Amino acid sequence: MKLLMAFGQSTSVGKDVACLAISERLGAVRLKFSDEIKDVAYQLFGKYGLKRGPYYEEPGRRPLRQDPLPRVGKSPEDLWIEVGNHMREIYAPVWADQGMSRVMDDGRLYLFSDVRSSWEAQAVLEAGGLLVKIERPGQRVLKADTLIPDDWPGWHVKLVNDGTQEKLETLAVELAVSFLEKKGV
């Protein structure tokens, strides 16, 4: 049995914070559907100044995701969105399939912190995973974030991040523990 939790949907609502807390406290494996998108974009645009995805996750570098690359005229974030969306036009579940291929049936809990498309959500559901939508009042929505309708009923749980980081971390870990208990782990 695969143990999988996936968090969505908008940007900067606390998905990575929640997954990091669960990973640190429970030893879960953190994944992102967008890892392959960023790898493909790097292969295409690295020679024009795009860095590998993890570069932009380092402390203080997150704002660089929105700085246009001079030769391309698009930001890393825009490139990732466009590469992801254009590849979905060729084969809609391409990124969902790529991401799910890294989830093993090995007794470990796997976490995705970036569910944004209906294909990703469906793949998580088919694997018996738990879909968690984190909402943060007043947060902006990116173009790629509109792939799942805001009122989509498929989320198992909705967490509202309207407090401290510690509160969100506690809620996320408690949810993961409850999920694992229900799975008999």
The predicted pLDDT at position 53 comes to: 95
What is the C-alpha to C-alpha distance for residues 48 and 161, in angstroms, rounded to an integer? 37
Assess whether pLDDT exceeds 80 at residue 130.
yes
Q: Which residue has the higher pLDDT, 117 or 121?
A: 121
Burial code of 142-179, b = ≥16 C-beta within 10 A, e = fewer? eebbebbeeeeeebeeebebeeeeeebbebbbebbeeb
Assess whether pLDDT exceeds 90 at residue 72.
yes
Average pLDDT for 140-148: 62
- Write the pLDDT tens digit of every residue in 14-37: 999 999 999 999 999 999 999 999
Domains (range + CATH), the chain: 3-33+108-182 (3.40.50.300), 36-90 (no CATH)
Percent of the chain with pLDDT over 70: 96
The predicted pLDDT at position 75 comes to: 97
The answer to whether 124 touches 112, Cβ cutoff 8 Å, is yes
Q: Is 138 buried (19+), middle (13-18) or exposed (0-12) by CB count in 10 A? A: exposed
The predicted pLDDT at position 141 comes to: 64
pTM across the whole model: 0.88
Average pLDDT for 168-177: 97
